[in-house]
Structure 1
């Protein structure tokens, strides 16, 4: 199972996106676990995930998250348009490309 972590300010705004990403993964029979957490909690999960995607509202924290990740997992920012449209498929594709 591959684990995708979405990070935002409070861990709430990404909950809808998590649901949409899980629906796409399920439909495609992909064994992914998608979770959303607040930035403050995300650091405890670094060793348990395959990729970390930051919500656009915390993109300024990317360097900090990369420093904590120490190159163990890829870290990227979710495209603002995909995030705003809650494009679960598009964000899932972004996570997959980073996990390759």
Structure 2
């Protein structure tokens, strides 16, 4: 099972997107663990397969890529704003292939 972590300033807005992503995964029959956290708490998540950053902390992408030995990507601002769980899920999974 693949594990996806969404990270934003406080973890609140990404929590809503996590639910939409879980719904999309269930509809497609994809087994995946998805969670959200604040940037200040992300060190607690040590076994994730991919990290998605909220657009508001996208400026940290290069630093995160140097820090974490897994794929890191900033979520598309339009997909984030529309809470498009299906598109964000597909983007995350595309990083793992």
TM-score interval, smaller chain: over 0.9
Preserved contact between residue 56 and residue 80 of structure 1 (Cα < 8 Å): yes
Which runs of 5 or more structure 2 residues have no equivalent in the other structure? none
Please list the CA deviations of residues 31-55 of structure 1 after superposition, one character each: whole Å capped at 9, or x if unmatched: 101100111111332x311110000
Normalising to structure 1: TM-score of the pair? 0.92
Alignment correspondent of 1:63: 62
Preserved contact between residue 43 and residue 68 of structure 1 (Cα < 8 Å): no
What secondary structure sits across from 1:34 in the alignment?
strand
Aligned length: 97
Alignment correspondent of 1:13: 13
What secondary structure sits across from 2:13 in the alignment?
coil
Paired with 2:71 and 2:42, the residues of 1 have a C-alpha distance of 14
Residue 91 in structure 1 maps to residue 91 in structure 2 = no
Preserved contact between residue 6 and residue 52 of structure 1 (Cα < 8 Å): yes
Paired with 1:48 and 1:23, the residues of 2 have a C-alpha distance of 22
What secondary structure sits across from 2:35 in the alignment?
strand
Alignment correspondent of 1:49: 48
Normalising to structure 2: TM-score of the pair? 0.95
Please list the CA deviations of residues 41-82 of structure 1 after superposition, one character each: whole Å capped at 9, or x if unmatched: 11332x31111000000001112211220xx21000000000
What secondary structure sits across from 2:95 in the alignment?
helix
What secondary structure sits across from 2:12 in the alignment?
coil
Paired with 1:54 and 1:99, the residues of 2 have a C-alpha distance of 16
